[in-house]
Amino acid sequence: RSVNIVAFGNERDGSSEDNQQSSLIWSYLRRSALISETESSVLLNSAHHVRNPALTEYQARVFGNVRLVVHDCPLWDIFDSDWYTSRSLIGGADIIVIKYSVNDKTSFQQLKDSYVPMIKKALNHCSIPVIISAIGARKNEVPCTCPLCTSDRRSCVTTSEGIQLAKELGATYLELHTLNDFYIQKYFGGVLEYFMIQSLNQKSSDKMKKRKKTQKCHRVKPPQLEQPEKMPILRGEASHYDSDLHNLLFCCQCVDVVFYSEDLKKVVEAHKIILCAVSHVFMLLFNVKSPADIHDSAIIRTAQSLFAVNNEAVFPALSSGSSCDPPGRVVVKDSVFCSCLSDILHFIYSGAFQWERLEEDIKKKLKDPEKIEHVLEKVKCILKTPGKLNNFKDCRSHQIKQLCNTSLRLFFNTPVLADVIFKIQGATVPAHRAVLVARCEVMAAMFNGNYLEANNILVPVYGVSKDTFLSFLEYLYTDSCCPASILQAMSLLICAEMYQVTRLQHICELYIITQLQSMPSRELASTRLSIVSLLRKAKFHNSDCLSTWLLHFIATNYLIFSQKPEFQDLSVDERNFVEMHRWPSDVYLKQLADYRNYIHSQKCYCTVM
């Protein structure tokens, strides 16, 4: 017997410097008197840096001989980067624990807006118990009751907000002010152990019912139904989001800003959209935001002390083949910082998470420790978030990447810094050439070759709907997508094939397969969704893996699909394949008919049949 628990979220305060603080799950496993033989192992996500633990697995014994398996996922990124794994974790869970710090309002808001809808969709009306744990003591213990004061609301997550979130998920809400013995063992442990007992009782009840059914009709056993053939396994493609943006710096396409030294020597070319996605300093520099919007004097001072935008004619002429506006010119006032600017831009374009490598590159270039520290402090100021202390005293790659991995989402479908407008179904969609060129080879050829689109701001789009094209652009900007239905996923797959974005094709294929696999037989028999139509589209758009899987799916559910009119639309070769791999087979159905005749001749009633 076993109990599977899946925990999501980070109970640590985002601004806390205590990285050695024990997690809620680990504290419970260490302190509970019911737990024995605890083991842990860190599982790594291949799409992330090797130092980024996506989840930790704990195995232990509870109630004597019951196997307890706990998957602790502190980073919500798993829903963006590995949707298939996160869906599998939720599907196999007996209990789900969601954790957050009451002093990290930003993470809570992101959880509420982005990830709670995904969890609700994955649960899909399943009766899995959910525990929401609000952890920590609120720093402003005496909140202001003045209606005009909202400081406590901005900094802490209130109890009412936590209870409202629990209502949305039908969850049990707990507040753990500290991770001591009382809150861990008596409060959190008591609720968790109650749900563990409920899960074990339910499993025991199901097992007894199954055993009683199999104990009847011993005299003649029914024919054994073999398992259907294993369907082909479709594996996802690793993300190359960071490398795509990093390569953009090397190819120098769609450049819209050039940095110069104080003596007006050209240093490096760059792209405003990438820089602004990472730093509020560059947002201020390129007028994306005003000083009144930022409300942070440190960021304003950094922008004024490091850079100066200058468009005067004293600069040397630029060789640019584009007919668009000439690139902006920025003078770097700090000579030491300017000497390392190329390395700093490589750091930013690679996702702004390889901090250790940046330190090594700057140390090789600058031998003076004071200058090295000076440049690194300037980089930390560039990465600073408005209104928060610059807590980069111990910068590590996985800490900074959380800050930048979805930052381009801020500029998705907005006219800010946009240099191309797509016209589709009578509507317009703004975009940024640099992102499109970096993420899509077809668009790179379109905007940099001898095509009309290379010199036009307005680009028409045909053969795809506006919603589908927006989903496609969202993937290019964020490296993630979550289709709303099978039909939308197929439309997105067709768009991805049109622009040759293979990883997005694989994501859509996995989504379609996962949705069809989770569909009950009764729903599959009554649905208006045409599987044969999906098969036709998959073949036409060169999705060989999906078309092969759909043929196996039709063969595995032969009794359902053979009764549908669309079954007649299969080609001769497809029909022969389905008949050859059909389940259940003709031999089994004949044996089943003979068994039924025997049972009726013996005047015995079989509960199995």
Q: Using an 8 Å Cβ cutoff, are 336 and 366 in contact?
A: yes
pLDDT at residue 20, rounded to an integer: 45
Of 307, 389, 392, nearest to 353 by C-alpha is 392
Span 84-102, average pLDDT:
84
pLDDT at residue 566, rounded to an integer: 93
Helix-then-strand count for the chain, H and E = 30, 14
pLDDT at residue 595, rounded to an integer: 84
Taking only Cα atoms into account, the Rg of the chain, rounded to an integer number of angstroms, comes to 29
Q: pLDDT tens digit string along 285-337?
A: 999 999 888 888 889 999 999 999 876 545 555 444 444 578 899 999 999 99
What phi and psi, each to the nearest 5 degrees, are found at residue 307? Answer: -130, 160
pLDDT at residue 281, rounded to an integer: 93
Chain-centre distance for alpha carbon 374: 36
Q: pLDDT tens digit string along 493-502?
A: 999 999 999 9
Q: pLDDT tens digit string along 9-18?
A: 888 775 554 5
Is residue 44 very low, low, confident or very high in pLDDT (cuts 50, 70, 90)? very low
Question: Helix, strand, or coil here: 484?
Answer: coil
Is residue 30 very low, low, confident or very high in pLDDT (cuts 50, 70, 90)? confident
What phi and psi, each to the nearest 5 degrees, are found at residue 286? Answer: -100, 20
Would the pLDDT of 371 be above 70? yes
Q: pLDDT tens digit string along 136-145?
A: 888 765 555 5
Of 603, 602, 606, 609, nearest to 216 by C-alpha is 606
Residue count (the chain) = 609
Strand partners, 134: 100, 175
Q: Using an 8 Å Cβ cutoff, are 151 and 192 in contact?
A: no
Of 367, 343, 363, 364, nearest to 354 by C-alpha is 343
**β-strand 266-270 against 257-260: which pairing, if any?**
antiparallel
Of 86, 64, 72, 81, nearest to 42 by C-alpha is 72
Q: Using an 8 Å Cβ cutoff, are 566 and 531 in contact?
A: yes
What phi and psi, each to the nearest 5 degrees, are found at residue 191? Answer: -65, -45
Q: pLDDT tens digit string along 591-600?
A: 888 888 888 8
- What whole-number distance in Å separates Cα of residue 274 and Cα of residue 266? 19
Would the pLDDT of 391 be above 70? no
DSSP 8-state assignment for residue 35? E
Chain-centre distance for alpha carbon 519: 23
- What whole-number distance in Å separates Cα of residue 551 and Cα of residue 537? 13
Amino acid at 524: L
Span 104-113, average pLDDT:
86
pLDDT at residue 38, rounded to an integer: 56
Q: Using an 8 Å Cβ cutoff, are 416 and 288 in contact?
A: yes
Would the pLDDT of 528 be above 70? yes
Is residue 432 very low, low, confident or very high in pLDDT (cuts 50, 70, 90)? very high
Amino acid at 15: S
Amino acid at 177: H
**Structural domain spans, the chain:** 2-39+52-140+156-207, 248-311+325-387
Of 482, 588, 589, 513, nearest to 226 by C-alpha is 588
Which is higher by pLDDT, 4 or 400?
A: 4
The tokens for 217 are 């009709």
Sheet holding 420-424, edge to edge: 427-431, 420-424, 458-460
pLDDT at residue 211, rounded to an integer: 72
What phi and psi, each to the nearest 5 degrees, are found at residue 71? Answer: -105, 115
- What whole-number distance in Å separates Cα of residue 595 and Cα of residue 577? 28
The CATH architecture one would assign to domain 248-311+325-387 is: 2-Layer Sandwich (3.30)
**For the purposes of burial, counting CB atoms within 10 Å of the CB of 591, is it exposed (0-12), middle (13-18) or buried (19 or more)?**
middle
The tokens for 355 are 């901090």
Q: Reply yes or no: is the peptide bond before residue 584 cis, omega within 30 of 0.
A: yes
Q: Using an 8 Å Cβ cutoff, are 137 and 179 in contact?
A: no
Which is higher by pLDDT, 371 or 124?
A: 371
Would the pLDDT of 34 be above 90? no
pLDDT at residue 596, rounded to an integer: 85
- What whole-number distance in Å separates Cα of residue 88 and Cα of residue 376? 41
In the chain, pLDDT over 90 holds for what percent of residues?
37
pLDDT at residue 352, rounded to an integer: 64
pLDDT at residue 438, rounded to an integer: 93
Q: pLDDT tens digit string along 558-584?
A: 999 999 999 999 999 999 999 998 888
The alpha-helical segments, DSSP class H, found in 394-541 are 397-404, 433-439, 441-448, 466-478, 486-498, 502-517, 521-526, 531-540
Task: State pTM to two decimals.
Answer: 0.60
Q: Does the structural domain 2-39+52-140+156-207 have CATH classification 1.10.10.10?
A: no
Average pLDDT score, the chain: 82
Span 192-197, average pLDDT:
87
Question: Helix, strand, or coil here: 433?
Answer: helix
- What whole-number distance in Å separates Cα of residue 522 and Cα of residue 519? 8
Buried b (16+ CB within 10 A) or exposed e, 53-82: bbbbebebebeeebebbbbbbbbbbbbbbb
Query: Which DSSP string corresponds to 520-573?
Result: -HHHHHH----HHHHHHHHHHTT-HHHHHHHHHHHHHTHHHHTTSGGGGGS-HH
